[in-house]
Amino acid sequence: MSRTLGRVEISQNVEEMLNLASKVYGKHQADGDASPLSKLDGISWNDVGPKINPALAKHREAEELKKQMEKAYRERDIYIPEIKEIVMSSRNVLKSLNEKNPKRLADWGFEVHDSVRAPKAVKAK
Asked whether residue 75 is domain-assigned, the answer is no
Asked whether residue 34 is domain-assigned, the answer is yes
How does the average pLDDT of the chain come out, rounded? 93
123 or 13: which carries more pLDDT confidence?
A: 13
**Residue 50 clears pLDDT 70, i.e. is over it:** yes
User: What is the extent of the structural domain holding 38?
Assistant: 14-64
**End-to-end alpha carbon distance in the chain:** 48
Mean pLDDT of 63-88: 98
Asked whether residue 5 is domain-assigned, the answer is no
Asked whether residue 51 is domain-assigned, the answer is yes
